[in-house]
Amino acid sequence: MNGRGDRIRAERLRRKWRQIDLARKARISRGLVGDLENDRNRDTTRILDVARALNVNPTWLETGKGPKEPAPATDQPYLTAASLEDVADQMLSKGPDDVWRLVQLLLDVKR
């Protein structure tokens, strides 16, 4: 397996799922599953949904690195983004309270 699309396809087939099965479980379109599997879409905003549906580690699914098994469940949500701008857009969509909390956390980080 070389790329993210190959990992998605292999995990789907290992479960004997059709693309529509994965799409329903991940709450995405069947077309997006096909695009992700064929590397026609590099969008990372839905990878967490796909990883959850496949019960694999989202970092492994995206990069092929790290453990394949998902981390134990926590109350901490994953954030997936292709760039810092994507992170900013996602945070801004959450609202001012979450943005302020993030700023406070960043200011508290020791360098």
Q: Are residues 91 and 55 in the same domain?
A: no
Total domain count for the chain? 2
The encoded tokens of residue 99 equal 């943005």
pLDDT at 111: 54
Q: Are residues 17 and 58 in the same domain?
A: yes
Is 69 among the domain residues? no
Enumerate residue ranges in the chain where pLDDT < 50.
none
Q: Are residues 47 and 8 in the same domain?
A: yes
- CB contact set of 60 (below 8 Å; sequence gap of 6+): 7, 66, 67, 68
Is 110 among the domain residues? yes
pLDDT at 110: 59
Q: Are residues 13 and 53 in the same domain?
A: yes
Q: How far, in Å, CA of 111 to CA of 108, rounded?
A: 9
Q: Can you tell me whether residue 16 is helix, strand or coil?
A: coil
Is 73 among the domain residues? no
- Supply the range of the domain harboring residue 98: 81-111
pLDDT at 100: 87
pLDDT at 96: 84
Q: How far, in Å, CA of 14 to CA of 33, rounded?
A: 15
Stated pTM of the model: 0.64
Q: Are residues 59 and 9 in the same domain?
A: yes
Is 76 among the domain residues? no
Q: Are residues 53 and 87 in the same domain?
A: no
Q: Are residues 58 and 98 in the same domain?
A: no
Q: Are residues 11 and 45 in the same domain?
A: yes
Helices (H), 30-108: 30-37, 47-54, 58-63, 84-94, 96-108
